[in-house]
Amino acid sequence: MNVVTFVYEGDGDRADVVISAELGITRSNAAKLIEDGNAKKGEAQLKKNTKIEKGAVITVSMPDAVPLDVAAENIPLEIIYEDSDLLVVNKPKGMVVHPAPGNYNGTLVNALMYHCGDSLSGINGVMRPGILHRIDKNTSGLLMVAKNDVSHNFLAEQIKEHSFTRVYHAVVYGTPKNQEGYIEAPIDRHPVKRKQMAIVAGGREAKTYYKVLSSNNGFSHIELKLFTGRTHQIRVHMAHIGHAVAGDEVYGPKKVITKLGGQCLHAKKLGFVHPATKEYMEFDSKLPDYFENFLKANELE
């Protein structure tokens, strides 16, 4: 049993929403933890619809992982780095990170099960072994995976404290007024379209830095750095300032650039303190072909 304790920094969200966001699990999984009696506010058991006030101390007991009922699949992986504690993988566009209803095969987790066997952290449950953070299906780039629970907790704390380096490259529509700047706008679930995220007053703090690298033909090649890691953060923030990511079918214009097969967004750089050596490590990946071809086609190099 793994016990996680945290202080809630928001104000007034439901318990299942709070635990889902803090632990990086689905809301339904958070609700089940609560219903099974595994979540408390102080000494009091929580209900999933309990409103949590700012400063409340929440304790969640995460049951030990059960054997993963997901098939290991011999899917080629581009491993950038690997040791006994973690690995860094370069995920291709189009690959889903972890299984979900209706999509139990061909995911990164299926590939990791084959590559790593039993050497994966079990903290995030049977569907997300070793997964510390994720990127969207149609976003390519670097992801880190924990091989044991000690490493998972150590690395997850860096993500929580925003000391984790995450640098992305994207192509967006138009050219931002300022060549570089910060976007600070709170993000939460869209009040109506529940599968989407949106800028919501009172939502979770979200901060993104951007820098324009080149502009031409109605597009800009930009570099971005995440200071927080909200779901769809870059896509939502860039759409918010009027420069949605090219090819984004959800937050971009209705007339989508279909040849990109989704948003032109790549997780290019990843940096963190290693859980065992305590040394800072940083990895960089080259832009994939789909990205490079789009840059060339629009003379954005």
> Would you name the residues annotated as active-site residues?
136
At residue 290's C-alpha, the angle toward residues 268 and 294, to 5°, is 100
Give the Cα separation of 143 and 132 in Å (integer). 8
- Cα dihedral angle (191, 197, 198, 200), rounded to 10 degrees? 60
Q: Which two tokens stand for residue 298?
A: 């629009």
Give the Cα separation of 166 and 198 in Å (integer). 21
DSSP state of 100: B
Question: Is the CB of residue 28 less than 8 Å from the CB of residue 14?
Answer: no
Tell me how crowded residue 119 is: count the other CB atoms within 10 A of its CB: 16
